[in-house]
Structure 1
Amino acid sequence: MPDLPVAYHFAVLAVLVLGLATVLLNLTCFDGLTPALPPGRDARRVSILVPARNEERCIGPCIKSLLAQDYPNFELIVLDDQSSDATPHLLDELGLRPDNPHRRVIRGQPLPAGWVGKNWACDQLARAATGEFLFFTDADTTHATGTVSAAVAYAERRRASLVSAWPRLVTVTWGEKLIIPMILLLGMTHYPHWLLLALQRWPRVAQVLPKALLSVLGAGNGQFMFWRRAAYDTVGGHDALRAHLVEDVALGRAVAGRIGEGLRLFNCDALRFSTCRMYRSFGETWEGFTKNLWPAFEARLAVFCFVGATQLCAYFTPCLLLWLKWNSADRPWLAAQVGLIVTIRILLTVRYRTSWLSCLLHPLAELFGIAIALNSWRLARHRGVMWKGRRYTTSSSSSSS
């Protein structure tokens, strides 16, 4: 096999050095929720909002952890989105009733045309909520007793419009351990969270930048979205993106696009407070990421292809070539490239306490990630993806039950 051009090696190294620099800057700027004493009885009201559709495996621990919050002024509202399993029965056992004003369950209305199920559920929850803060969290999460107190303190300290916190990702099966940490690799190498924070410190600069440019800097994590109610209403809430399959990223972008108008978005760690087990098998992981990957790019094929090419050429190919060309003159170049990849993976694994399996089997994880991305694009453009008994054709299409 002939030696590779030096220009090729420099190009790959440049991408990886940029990725490492972005990770280091993001990790430096990404602070975390910290313990806070519960405020007094005059504390602002927080509405804890949980959409639930067929969540019998996880709804119990989630609701118990939320009921145990030490914050003195909160309401818990769970929307049962027409579940066909034991979810309604479990909610009843936990004491949630339609007529309980502080700990209640509401029965979801049928899904209208043009809506994604979770967005419709969250819209109904928001309309039922009475708090100054809206805390949307998923049914597959659990939360320490001081989570709400910490979130309120963080939001007040930062004057945040939206706090999107990242729980510790719990993985058990090999498929979860291998693939789920790839979220962090993509999110921390391709999203300049540090730049958004800098622009929020210099609002005059943000005011002269186009909203479209600001919005691409935004992101969010639907597992933990802590809103000021006024900001949620300002961006239109879930109603403004009723057909978007990746509503958390879209909402983060909506806030980021308006930081020049005074809104403020903060992504942070919730590792000390919250956990989330997203999926429970390789099949669920494949299906869930297939649903999300292409819609996350909002039908921007050029960006989708660019990120995919970056992952293939810079984060996978060096590992393969180092093995194939071990005895060639390219080995020092390839070793340096793989060294940068390993450094990035170790930094993220240590910081977010994810499984080492994905780090050790990085080339295999990359292959699965690329395959899932291609499958997501293929299904979204043709017959659509299935999720919780509903079919979605594209990121902006209607669904059918």
Structure 2
Amino acid sequence: ADTIVRDGGINAICSLLERFDAVSQVPWIKCETLSCGAVEVAFTSLLRLTYPYWINKPSKSWLAGAFMAWRRNSYEEIGTHWIVRNSLVEDADLGKIASESGLSVSFFYAKYAQSTWVSSWRESLITLQRILSVRAPSKATALLLLMLFSAVSLFTYLMPLLVTYGLVNPTIGVVYVISTFGYASLSLHEIDMNPLSLFLAPIGLIIVGFSLFMARHGKIIWKGRELCTN
């Protein structure tokens, strides 16, 4: 199995169902490769900005399928997983539908469940393409984001040279590097990975951007189904 639930996890999630209709743990990912860690840091950092799990709004709510639980009556009320059977990201969409229906959906932070995710750059690209296809922006916006992410990544790696040759003020350069990697390091609380992956996160950001672009310019194959996103 790709998810391991530790002792206490079932009791913890069941106790939360006394207050919520559906709950799931903030994804705790185990990365066994540097590429996995790099992409996960980039993706988690962006997710924290765009879809913060601590804000329960219909437009932002979602659930992580690795470890979640429902009140039975609430689950049946919205149509169970049958209602999202054709979705590429079933659990996230089910959480959104529940929130839009007025049900209380929430995340909780813990390390009871640990999931093993992608293992290579290519697998990261394919997996994120599927996940991002659900709420991907327009083709033009996706292209602009790819260009922006690539520029940020390149700028980050070139910063030492830019400072050395006097093209960037040293103070600005130091503040930029510290703030960038400092924010990225927040993901270490949600990812079990080699710390060296943190320094590859700018490359991971490009992978995320390219996945977003491909989510609007390609085909996605999932569970024997093929979806054209053009």
TM-score of the two chains, using structure 1 as the length reference: 0.50
Cα distance in structure 2, aligned partners of 1:339 and 1:236: 47
Partner of 1:322: 159
Aligned amino acid, residue 369 of structure 1: V
Partner of 1:253: 96
Gaps of 5+ in 2: none
- Cα offset, 1:307, TM superposition: 5.7
Partner of 1:393: 228
What secondary structure, in the 3-state scheme, does the structure 1 residue paired with 2:134 have?
A: helix
The structure whose Rg is larger is 1
Cα distance in structure 2, aligned partners of 1:142 and 1:364: 29
- Which of 81, 106, 109 is the aligned partner of 1:269? 109
Partner of 1:16: none
- Cα offset, 1:167, TM superposition: 4.1
Q: 1:188 to 1:255 in 2, by over 3 A?
A: same
Q: 1:283 to 1:307 in 2, by over 3 A?
A: closer
Cα distance in structure 2, aligned partners of 1:375 and 1:337: 29
Aligned residues: 228
- Cα offset, 1:345, TM superposition: 1.2
Identity percentage of aligned residues: 21
Cα distance in structure 1, aligned partners of 2:132 and 2:176: 26
CA contact (8 A) 1:318 1:338 kept: no
- Which of 173, 176, 187 is the aligned partner of 1:348? 187
- Cα offset, 1:218, TM superposition: 0.9
TM-score of the two chains, using structure 2 as the length reference: 0.82
Q: 1:193 to 1:179 in 2, by over 3 A?
A: closer
CA contact (8 A) 1:160 1:266 kept: yes
Mapped pair 1:294 → 2:133: yes
Partner of 1:370: 209
Cα distance in structure 2, aligned partners of 1:295 and 1:390: 15
CA contact (8 A) 1:167 1:275 kept: yes
CA contact (8 A) 1:181 1:355 kept: no
- Cα offset, 1:289, TM superposition: 1.8
- Which of 117, 123, 128 is the aligned partner of 1:278? 117
Mapped pair 1:172 → 2:172: no
Cα distance in structure 1, aligned partners of 2:20 and 2:146: 33
Aligned amino acid, residue 5 of structure 2: H
What secondary structure, in the 3-state scheme, does the structure 2 residue paired with 1:180 have?
A: helix
Gaps of 5+ in 1: 1-57, 59-139, 197-213, 396-401
Partner of 1:143: 5
Aligned amino acid, residue 319 of structure 1: T
Cα distance in structure 2, aligned partners of 1:187 and 1:255: 20
Higher relative contact order (CA 8 A, sep 6+): 2
CA-atom RMSD in angstroms: 2.9
What secondary structure, in the 3-state scheme, does the structure 2 residue paired with 1:215 have?
A: coil
Aligned amino acid, residue 393 of structure 1: C
Following superposition of structure 1 onto structure 2, how do residues 47-58 of structure 1 map, counting pairs within 5 Å?
A: 58=1
